[in-house]
Structure 1
Amino acid sequence: MQPNLAASITYAYHFLSEAIIMFLIALPFFYHRFSYVPYGSYFVIIIGACILFSIITRYTTRYIWYIVMAPILFLVFNSLDYPMIFTVLFTLLFVWRYIDIRKEDLISRENIYILFTLLLTAIVSILVRDSFIMIYPFLQFVILFLGYITSQLVVVNKEDRKQIDLKLPFYFIGILGLGATIFFFLFESARNVALYVGQGFFNAIGGVIRGFSNILSFLTVEQRGWPEQTPDDAKHGDGYWNQLEEYNVVEGMSVFLIVAIAILLIALVTFFIMILWRKRSKQKLVEAEQSDAVSYSSLSGSTGNNTYSRNPFNKYFNRPSDPIRKLVYQFERKAAKQNKGRRPFETIEDWFMRINVGADIYVYQKVRYGGKRASDQEVKSLKVQLKEMEAKLDL
């Protein structure tokens, strides 16, 4: 397989994920302002745009060709009667986002996409009374999962590819589909519960504001009224407008208090996102500085130079299916729980020597590095040896 194929697949599913996030943001505006939501046509458009951009990526590195595609996207949106504001926005965002993704040599934003999708789904579920909105979060998780799997499969060799349980994606999609179906039918009830909880939350905030207002209610200004008049000047009035009215500072500032609280909440959310972003950036630097020594618990096709393997789904593909490697893997996990696990810079031989394991490591080396198959007798022998070591080490 060509090495660029994995990158093209990665760019493609990152673009689709961002396009789905764009749609979730725009969905309330479609629903309330334009009284319709283009669920089907939008998905067809992003798939077509993704294919078009992927073809360009395979054959050229010049970004000008993506910009050339902008008029085509504009005509497609316009011909499908999308509002002009969204026709322009989607066209510009599609081109800009794919170019930005394309500029990244190594990209892994799945965690951010999942976080934004969950937050937007919760918000949109409250704002929009339409159970079909769950289609796009479901598609988001399927695209991220299948996209990651495919990008991994094209870079590993055939031997390692055979060790991956190909039924796992179907299990994942089945469970996800079942959950989406249940939520689809329970959408209205779930939405009412969310609204009830949200109302209680805002009522609590209102109670706090009212309590704060009562504390400051002693702050009053000078009473106001009409200028003094003689009886003759005021004879056309009935005296109502001469009644003095009290003015409370807090009541007059209630709007400003609400705005201030809203700004504070926005600032807190922004600060939280910045913290997460900085934490992620630091994590990248730490990972870049770690040793490139072979670690058993990762796939042989994954190295320090392949960041495509850094993904929340990666844990499902780290477990080998070869009986010898599986035995060592299970032993390593048990040892790690007792703080006797393998260190990043250690080879298997160094690790076994440090914890006084007397198992025959030759058979593991033959399978792990030589690509050979172990006999049933060798599997049984290693299994017995590791069981003895587990008992000796109290694992």
Structure 2
Amino acid sequence: MATFFKNRFLINLLHIILDILFLFVTFSYIVNYDQLINQYFPFSVLLLIGSSIFIAYSLITRSMKHYLLVIIYLILLFVGIAIFFTHWLITLVTLIFLVWRINSYFQLEAKLFEVNGGYTLLFYLNLVVAIIVTVYKNQDHLLALLLLLFIFQLTIISIGTMVQRLLLSEKPLSKLKKRNALSLLLFGGFFTLGVGLFILTSPLIKSVFIKFFRKILLVISYAVEIIITFIISLLPKEKMQRNLESLKLKLQEDNVLRPEQFVHHETVSFPIVEIFIALLVVGIIVYLMKKRTSELIFEEETTLVSSQTTKSINDSQHPINRSIVEYSISVGEVREQVLALEQLSMKEGQGRKKFESIRDWFERIGLNETEDFFETYEKVRYGDELIPMEMIEQFKKRVKALKDEHFLEPQKNKRGK
């Protein structure tokens, strides 16, 4: 089950990093640069450490203890307000948001981090808007920080998905590298973070970094100007000329028009450039994510077809062996039994709650089961393993016994009375 733990922890780790970075970018709208670096950055690091510890503990114990998460976040609330002097309302809203997000992590059934998910794209959109606002306000220090966050997140997601593919791969060569999979992710993250801190702390490197980005903006502004000029040339010239002259007179009357506005590189209003950049970046991200997803789907379908072909060839050469149930079939068998148990318990007012693990549910309604029972369910619920037929049959017998002993027999006794 080591692969299960590593893969699930990696998915949840990528999610919590994305959530904390999303909050950190949102902080940039509210507080100034000094507060962001000296107060909210160390607080965000502590949030990541505390949340990661809770996620790892929950995966190891296969049980989500909400009171433990509340205790950790209450400590972080005190540390944030008393030591880092963060605003109490911002800190409280941040912790409530993360509690809601962490609860949703354990309901995810995807085997890979959803790089094209709506929340991921929302993060990038938020980051792009923050960068545009920073450029507009001419805040070079904050601009460098946000650009590095953009690069850091792309690096973490790229390395993380690569490591997940490695963990889920069944190739013998890949299995030799699985031990170092998480180490590769941590090395990539710390390396990118180290380069980012070097850029932020070096005035010369940071100025070159910002100037390079501003040159890119200037080139884009020229491209936007050419496009707009071309569009204007397609419109009726006489009508456009009258509209432009009336607009110029209106601006002159309001003392808004300045001579320097007619400089060549400023003929396009900056908001147009900002909107164009935002749409361009978001469009590129959506395209790349969708393309990546289609490649993943194609790879999965190809692997499935090849495995089915190999299985049919082996079946034709050897006697049919029913001792192993295919993963998809075992998922259906086990989940069908648990679903029937949930429906029956719901009628008795003991139904499974939202975001409640099967262990917590059984403990709440007074059902005792062996570790093998829970492992069978969790292997098909979270993992990707072939389940022996004996385990499936034993699981079905135990569920049937639970139905009879805990629900059906008490119902018969009530009717008899």
Q: Shorter-normalised TM-score: what interval?
A: 0.3 to 0.5
Higher helix share: 2
Q: Which protein has the larger Cα radius of gyration, Structure 1 or Structure 2?
A: 1
Query: What is the TM-score of this pair, normalised by structure 2?
Result: 0.45
Query: What is the TM-score of this pair, normalised by structure 1?
Result: 0.47
